[in-house]
């Protein structure tokens, strides 16, 4: 996962309820500390296998990529699911290309093929989702690192396992 800079996360945490209210949507904003952009996920049991963590650390440690700028400039719904619990997300179009490049390199380091359906996004709330994208003032920051995270599904909790700097 990639976590935004703290000041960016704070701004996004304020944006979500304001956007929900302005669009007359019901929803629950994501907590500031959990705002992130997923790169790749693996479903595992609650007891995280040590060999999987070690392999992920090795792969992440091999990534060579310079820091990159991000610009998320639209908000919209994402995916299907329960109509009252749909993700409301920030998108970035060309401003999110760096995430696709980072994901491609991470998957290659893990011996996997790139995911052609990967859509970089940051979920900001769950609830009523917009049917179409709306442009917003761009949320920008420079990505300087990425993290290995154990997401405790259903518990709204992320456990940071390791962090990796971006470098040439």
Please give the pLDDT value at position 4.
96
pTM: 0.89
DSSP annotation string for 5-51: PHHHHHHHHHHHHHHHHHTT--EEEPPGGG--B--------SS--HH
- pLDDT tens digit string along 49-70? 788 788 888 999 999 999 999 9
User: At residue 75, what are phi and psi to the nearest 5 degrees?
Assistant: -125, 140
What CA–CA distance (Å, rounded) separates 99 from 91?
11
Helix (H, G, I), strand (E, B) or coil at 148: strand
Q: What is the mean pLDDT of the chain?
A: 87
**pLDDT surpasses 90 at 32:** yes
Across residues 161-168, what is the average pLDDT?
91
Listed residue (137, 163, 154, 114) closest to 18, CA to CA: 137
- pLDDT tens digit string along 84-132? 688 899 999 888 999 999 999 999 998 888 888 889 999 999 887 776 7
- Paired residues of 87 in beta bridges: 126
- Paired residues of 135 in beta bridges: 74
């Amino acid at each position: 996962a990639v976590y935004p800079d703290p000041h960016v996360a704070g701004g996004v945490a304020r944006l979500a309820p304001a956007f929900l209210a302005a669009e007359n949507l019901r929803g629950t904003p994501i907590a500031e500390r959990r705002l992130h952009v997923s790169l790749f996920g693996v479903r595992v049991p609650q007891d995280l296998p040590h060999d999987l963590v070690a392999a992920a650390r090795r792969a992440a440690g091999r990534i060579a990529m310079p820091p990159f700028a991000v610009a998320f400039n639209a908000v919209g719904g994402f995916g299907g699911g329960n109509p009252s619990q749909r993700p409301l997300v920030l998108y970035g179009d060309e401003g999110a290309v760096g995430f696709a490049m980072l994901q491609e390199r991470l998957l290659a380091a893990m011996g996997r093929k790139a995911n052609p359906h990967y859509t970089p996004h940051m979920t900001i709330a769950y609830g009523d989702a917009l049917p179409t994208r709306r442009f917003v003032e761009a949320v920008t920051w420079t990505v300087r690192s990425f993290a290995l995270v154990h997401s405790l599904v259903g518990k709204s909790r992320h456990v940071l396992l390791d962090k990796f700097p971006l470098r040439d």
